[in-house]
Chains A and B, each alone.
Chain A
Amino acid sequence: MGILNIMIAESTPNLFVDDLETPPLPLTTLAWKRFKRHRMAMLGGVFLILLVLYSFGGSLFVEEKYANFTNPPIRLNTPSWQHPFGTDTVGRDVLARTIYGGQISMIIGILAVIIETSLGILIGALAGYYGGTIDSLLMRFTEAMLNIPEIFLLIVMAKFFGNKIPNLTLLGRTFSGSVVVIIVIIGLTSWMYLARIVRAEFLSIKENDFILAAKATGTSNTEIIIRHILPNSIAPIIVSATLGIANAILSEAYISFLGLGVQPPTATWGNMLDGANNYIESAPWLWFFPGLLILLTVLSINFLGDGLRDAIDPHSRAI
């Protein structure tokens, strides 16, 4: 053995040096390099940071009381220096409301995705790992949920959970209890695609030899799922969760737009649009600014997710 190694080393000294001149890059650096090449994704990232700064940094300049302060005499004022985005139907400042509405919309997006991702991973992992009856039952359930159009499901669920949760006080601010309801129902109606992705990943990864080895050494099923398979299927999960935030923000907007979502005075970008179609002609600023902010946020997240997919999960490119 020793002699063979020396022989190889002597016969190919140059090759080794050449190879080592460019040391292998760590995975994160590689992913970052690929991500940087994606110009639209970088732009999306920058825009998203700006939007987060707008919603969360904005609260340093404007108080929430001001955003919820009704002043009927100045209702439906056109944009001016004092109210750059105008005022709404009860005289609240639209600019201040887009700031606080943005916070709630983004928080709803993130928390809903946490529920969605947990559910998706749980169901996908159980179905993919155990197979058999569990798999077919869970997948029939997933398929059934997928077949009911999401908006109908959201509306029915919003009705089902109703407005039974009282207002919450957190960090000195009061939130309408409907925020929690919306987060839960968005999470409950959007996990199906992720569950399918996770299941497919689990199906293929569990056939690998290292899983066989783990089983042979007596590793428990839970540990195999969490420590051995899940880390290997994390890339599509991250991509799907990122894009999921955009979808959750959209779902909140749809359901609040239909008047079944977050209840005022808590503002969200969605409920600011509720009833706006009565003011298309007379007060376009009512719906234009929140609508534009939703569009920009969703667009940025979609670009970001697209770049992220190219960077960390290049195999699953769909379109």
Chain B
Amino acid sequence: MTRYILHRILQGIPLLFFISIILFVLMMNMGDPIATMGGRTATRPADRERLKRQLGLDKPIVVQYFYWLAGNDWTKIDLDGDGIGETYGERKGVLRGDFGYSLVNRGKPALAVIGERIPNTLILMVAAELVIILGSLLVGVYSALHQYSFTDHFITTLSFIGYSMPIFFIALLSMYIFAVLFKRWGLPYLPTVGMFDPQVGKTAGQVILHMILPVLSISVISLAAYSRYIRSTMLEVMNQDYIRTAKAKGLPRPQIVYIHALKNASLPIVTVIGLDLPLLLGGAVVTERIFAWPGMGRLFLDHVERGDLPVVMGILMLISVAVVVFQILTDIVYAWLDPRIRFG
């Protein structure tokens, strides 16, 4: 098992390098970082030149990537352009945990800018994941046990629709129904914008209330897909010999369904959930934009528009690390649950 884990981790490292190279090349056309730094006042040509050299933008892309990765505090930077380096660089490089300074919020490390937003996205993700897992188990098991009934057909149709729904349409529709229409009908309605009501303050109750619609929007697609998946694995397991044995020896039905069958039926779900993290994170971008949720997705959109390379690159790398780590965890958990993989 230890060997298996080590093996998977060793595979993940070159993968992250690959990702960082692809992203870094794509970053080369993000806009003018110096104009972003200058803010409203136009930068003088001489200052531009100096800033360019200070940021290392005059160097070829390979060198720029290397500075980004390993820093430039071991080499002298040529600030005045006479070909001789004067001062040592200040960047430590991503490998030593330095993602550079944000260009938009000047003087603030990119990681700090991102770090402020991570918890907000994280609570959305965790809540959505809970809704997805519990909801799809409930729906999937129910429709598997009532195969071909009216409810089963109804759920099937509904899950196809849910699976085809663009997230923004779910979001807009649910906002219209639960905020606009409910308000019009005099029912208790849900808030649609932000994380909390500024008049009430950031209390747990407020945040939960503001979370309902965004979490719903993020979860619908995966909920629909997983419940189909659980239905089919559940049906498969229910037809196996050991279930017949359990029935034959007279075990009560709930025990057969929830202990014998569900345990094995939920095995493949582990992989699906682990691999769908990119999808969920992508959904957060759209959802956070619509609901004005101050998370990482919205930070990404705002800073992409202004060409804030360190922050954008930082977000993308953090996400990639999360995705790769999740994949490795998924594989490990799966191998742990299913000995056939470990020893196969």
Residues of A bordering B, CB below 8 Å: 40, 140-141, 143-152, 155-157, 159-162, 246, 250, 253-254, 257-258, 273, 276-277, 280-281, 284, 287-288, 291-292, 294-295, 298-299, 302-303, 319
How far does the Cβ of B120 sit from chain A's closest Cβ, in whole Å? 17
Interface residues of B, CB < 8 Å — how many? 52
- Counting chain B CB atoms within 10 Å of each CB, the highest count among A141, A144, A157 belongs to A144
Sample 27 A-B pairs with CB under 8 A, ordered by A number. Answer: A140-B15, A143-B18, A144-B22, A147-B19, A148-B22, A149-B278, A149-B279, A149-B323, A150-B282, A151-B282, A151-B285, A152-B316, A155-B285, A155-B300, A156-B304, A159-B29, A253-B166, A254-B166, A254-B168, A258-B286, A280-B175, A280-B180, A288-B172, A291-B169, A295-B161, A298-B164, A319-B225
* Residue B95 is within 8 A (CB to CB) of chain A in the complex: no
The residues of A that contact B179 with a CB separation of less than 8 Å are: 280-281
Closest to B168 in A: A257
Bound CA span A319–B30, Å: 40
- The answer to whether B14 touches A291 (Cβ under 8 A) is no
Residue in contact with A295 in the complex, picked from B164, B229, B327, CB distance below 8 Å: B164
Pairwise interchain contact A258-B289, C-beta atoms closer than 8 A: yes
Contacts of A273 in B (CB 8 A): 168, 172
Task: List, in ascending order, chain A residues with CB within 8 A of B69's CB.
Answer: none
Separation of A57 and B196 alpha carbons in the complex (Å): 48
* Chain B contact residues, majority secondary structure: helix
Chain A residues with Cβ under 8 A from B286's Cβ?
A: 151, 254, 257-258
B114 in contact (CB, < 8 A): no
Q: Mark B313-344, 1 if CB is under 8 A from A, else 0.
A: 00010011001100100000000000000000
CA distance A71 to B45 in the complex (A): 44
Chain A, Cβ-Cβ closest to B323: A147
With a CB–CB cut-off of 8 A, which chain B residues contact A294? 166, 169
Is the beta-carbon distance between A148 and B23 smaller than 8 angstroms? Answer: yes
Q: Are A141 and B164 in contact, CB atoms less than 8 angstroms apart?
A: no
Are A140 and B18 CB-contacts (below 8 A) given A147-B320, A149-B279, A302-B163?
yes
DSSP class of A's interface residues: helix, strand, loop or mixed? helix
Chain B neighbourhood of A150, CB < 8 A? 278, 282
Interface residues of B in 238-284 (CB under 8 A from A): 278-279, 281-283
Q: B160 near A299 (CB under 8 angstroms)?
A: yes
In the assembly, what is the distance between CA of A284 and CA of B169, in Å? 11
Interface string of B16-44 (1 = CB under 8 A from A): 00110011001111110000000000000
**Is B209 among interface residues, defined by CB-CB distance under 8 A?**
no
A-chain residues with CB within 8 Å of residue B121 when the two chains form the complex: none
Which residues on B sit within 8 Å (CB–CB) of A257? 166, 168, 286
Q: For residues 287 through 302 of chain B, which have their beta carbon under 8 Å from a beta carbon of chain A?
A: 289-290, 300-301
State whether B172 touches A276 (Cβ < 8 A): yes
16 additional A-B pairs beyond A141-B18, A291-B168, beta carbons within 8 Å, are A141-B22, A144-B15, A147-B15, A147-B320, A147-B324, A149-B278, A149-B279, A149-B319, A152-B316, A152-B319, A156-B312, A156-B316, A160-B29, A161-B29, A250-B166, A284-B180
B166, A295: Cβ atoms under 8 Å?
Answer: yes
- B138 located at the interface, meaning its Cβ lies under 8 Å from any Cβ of chain A in the complex: no
Residues in B with CB closer than 8 Å to A148 are 19, 22-23, 278, 316, 319-320, 323
- Of listed A143, A145, A162, A303, residue having the most chain B CB within 10 A: A143
Residues on the A chain within 8 Å of B281, using CB: 149, 152
How far apart are the CA atoms of A257 and B285 in the complex, in Å? 11
Partner of B176, one of A141, A147, A280: A280
**Cα separation A246 to B30 with both chains bound (whole Å):** 29
Residues of A within 8 A of B175 (CB): 277, 280
Given A149-B279, A152-B319, A302 contacting B169 (CB threshold 8 A): no
Residues of A within 8 Å of B290, CB to CB, are 277
CA distance A303 to B165 in the complex (A): 13
Q: Which residue of B lies closest to A154 (CB)?
A: B282
Considering the chains assembled together, what is the distance between the CA atoms of A159 and B22 in angstroms?
Answer: 14
A50 to B330, CA, bound (A): 43
